[in-house]
Chains A and B, each alone.
Chain A
Amino acid sequence: MSDLPLKGLRVIDLSRVFAMPYAAAFLADLGAEVIKIEGCRFLGADTRLGGPFGGPWPDDVPGELHWERNGVFHVLNRGKRSVTLDLNQTAGVEALRKLLATSDVVIENFTPRVMRKFGLDYPNLRNIRSDIIMVSNTGYGHTGPFSNYGAMAAALEPTHGSGAFIGYEGGAPNKISNSYTDFLASWTALYSVMAALLYRARTGRGLWIDLAMYQVGAAFMGEGLLDYAFNGRVQRRMGNRHEAYAPHNSYPCRGKDRWVTIAVTDEHEWKALCSVIGSPELANDPRFVDAPARVEKRDTLDAIVAQWTSSLDHYAAAHTLQAAGVPAGPVLDARDVFTDPHLVARKFFDHVQHPPETGVGRRPQLGRPWRFSAFKVPTPAAGPRLGEANDYVFKEVLGLSETEVAAMAEQEIIGSAPVGTRVPNPVPAEEQLRLGRLAALDRNYRKRLGIE
Chain B
Amino acid sequence: MLSDIRVLDLGQDVSGPFCARLLADQGADVIKIEPCDGDPARRTGPFAGDEPHPEKSIRFLYLNTNKRSVTLDISRPAGRSLLHSLARWADVLVENFEPRLRSSLGLDDQSLMQVNPGLVVTSISSFGSSGPYSDWKATDLVTSAISGLMYHSGDADKEPLRSALSQSLYVAGINGASATLVALYHRLMNGNVGGRVDVSVAECMTAHLVQASASYAYTGGLRGRRPAHGAPLEELMPCQDGHAVVSAQGSRPFSDVADLLGIEELKGPAFATAEGRIMQGEALEQLILQGLARWKKNDLFHAANKKGLVFGMAQGPDDLYRCPHLSERQFFERVHHPVAGDAEYPCELVRLSEESFRTRRAAPLLGEHNSEVYQRVVGLSEDEIEQLRNSAVI
B236's partner among A59, A142, A158, A168 (CB-CB below 8 A) is: A158
Tell me which residues from 148 to 166 in chain A have a Cβ below 8 Å from any Cβ of chain B. Answer: 149-152, 154-166
Q: Contact: B236 with A165, CB < 8 Å? A: no
Task: For the complex, give the distance between the alpha carbons of A330 and B347 in Å.
Answer: 35
Q: Which residues of A contact B278 (CB under 8 A)?
A: 52-53, 427, 432, 435, 437
Chain A 229-262: CB-based contact to B (< 8 A → 1; otherwise 0): 1110111011110111000101010000101110
Q: Contact: A60 with B219, CB < 8 Å? A: yes
Q: Contact: A155 with B312, CB < 8 Å? A: yes
Q: Contact: A372 with B219, CB < 8 Å? A: no
Q: Contact: B216 with A166, CB < 8 Å? A: no
Task: For the complex, give the distance between the alpha carbons of A440 and B223 in Å.
Answer: 7
Q: Contact: A333 with B222, CB < 8 Å? A: yes
Q: Contact: B314 with A173, CB < 8 Å? A: yes
| Residue ID in chain A nearest B275 by CB atoms | A427
Q: Contact: A161 with B317, CB < 8 Å? A: yes
B231's partner among A147, A187, A437 (CB-CB below 8 A) is: A437
Q: Which residues of B contact A440 (CB under 8 A)?
A: 221-222, 224
Q: Number of A-B pairs whose CB atoms are under 8 Å?
A: 552
From B123-131, B256-264, B384-392, the one touching the partner chain is B123-131
Q: A162-B163, A427-B278 are in contact. Are A223 and B58 (CB under 8 A)?
A: yes
Task: For the complex, give the distance between the alpha carbons of A190 and B349 in Å.
Answer: 13
Number of interface residues of A (CB under 8 A): 176
Task: For the complex, give the distance between the alpha carbons of A152 and B127 in Å.
Answer: 30
B220's partner among A235, A239, A444 (CB-CB below 8 A) is: A444
Q: Which residues of B contact A56 (CB under 8 A)?
A: 214-215, 218-219, 221
Q: Contact: B220 with A443, CB < 8 Å? A: yes
Least CB distance, B219 to chain A, in whole angstroms: 5
Q: Contact: A191 with B22, CB < 8 Å? A: yes
Q: Does A366 have its Cβ within 8 Å of any Cβ on chain B?
A: yes
Q: Which residues of B contact A218 (CB under 8 A)?
A: 320, 326, 331, 346
Q: Contact: B46 with A161, CB < 8 Å? A: no
Q: Contact: A342 with B131, CB < 8 Å? A: yes
Q: Does B296 have its Cβ within 8 Å of any Cβ on chain A?
A: no
From A81-89, A91-99, A196-204, A396-404, the one touching the partner chain is A196-204
Q: Contact: A222 with B236, CB < 8 Å? A: no
Q: Contact: B50 with A366, CB < 8 Å? A: no
From B66-74, B82-90, B173-181, B374-382, the one touching the partner chain is B173-181
Q: Contact: B170 with A220, CB < 8 Å? A: yes
Task: For the complex, give the distance between the alpha carbons of A91 and B110 in Å.
Answer: 57
Q: Contact: A327 with B224, CB < 8 Å? A: no
Q: Contact: A435 with B355, CB < 8 Å? A: no
Q: Does A265 have its Cβ within 8 Å of any Cβ on chain B?
A: yes
Q: Which residues of B contact A168 (CB under 8 A)?
A: 154-155, 158, 161
Q: Contact: B137 with A437, CB < 8 Å? A: no
Q: Which residues of A contact B329 (CB under 8 A)?
A: 141, 143-144, 212, 215
Q: Which residues of A contact B174 (CB under 8 A)?
A: 184, 187-188, 191
Q: Which residues of B contact A212 (CB under 8 A)?
A: 329, 350-351
Q: Contact: A191 with B178, CB < 8 Å? A: yes
Tell me which residues from 96 to 149 in chain B have a Cβ below 8 Å from any Cβ of chain A. Answer: 109, 127-128, 130-133, 136-139, 141-149
Task: For the complex, give the distance between the alpha carbons of A147 and B318 in Å.
Answer: 21
Q: Which residues of B contact A364 (CB under 8 A)?
A: 217
Q: Does B253 have its Cβ within 8 Å of any Cβ on chain A?
A: no
Q: Contact: B316 with A161, CB < 8 Å? A: yes
Least CB distance, A71 to chain B, in whole angstroms: 3
Q: Contact: B171 with A159, CB < 8 Å? A: no
Q: Does A371 have its Cβ within 8 Å of any Cβ on chain B?
A: yes
Q: Contact: A178 with B315, CB < 8 Å? A: no
Tell me which residues from 428 to 443 in chain A have a Cβ below 8 Å from any Cβ of chain B. Answer: 429, 431-432, 435-443
Task: For the complex, give the distance between the alpha carbons of A394 and B291 in Å.
Answer: 52
Least CB distance, B150 to chain A, in whole angstroms: 6
Q: Contact: B351 with A210, CB < 8 Å? A: yes
Q: Contact: B346 with A178, CB < 8 Å? A: no
Report 14 cross-chain contacts, Cβ distance below 8 Å, ordered by A residue. Answer: A6-B182, A152-B250, A210-B351, A218-B326, A222-B62, A224-B317, A225-B346, A257-B224, A322-B137, A330-B145, A366-B209, A369-B204, A370-B182, A436-B228
Query: Which 3 A-B pairs rank lowest in CB-CB distance, beginning with the nearest?
Result: A439-B224, A155-B312, A436-B227
Contacts A161-B316, A366-B207, A371-B198 supplied; 6 other A-B pairs, CB < 8 Å: A7-B189, A222-B345, A228-B321, A333-B148, A372-B182, A445-B216
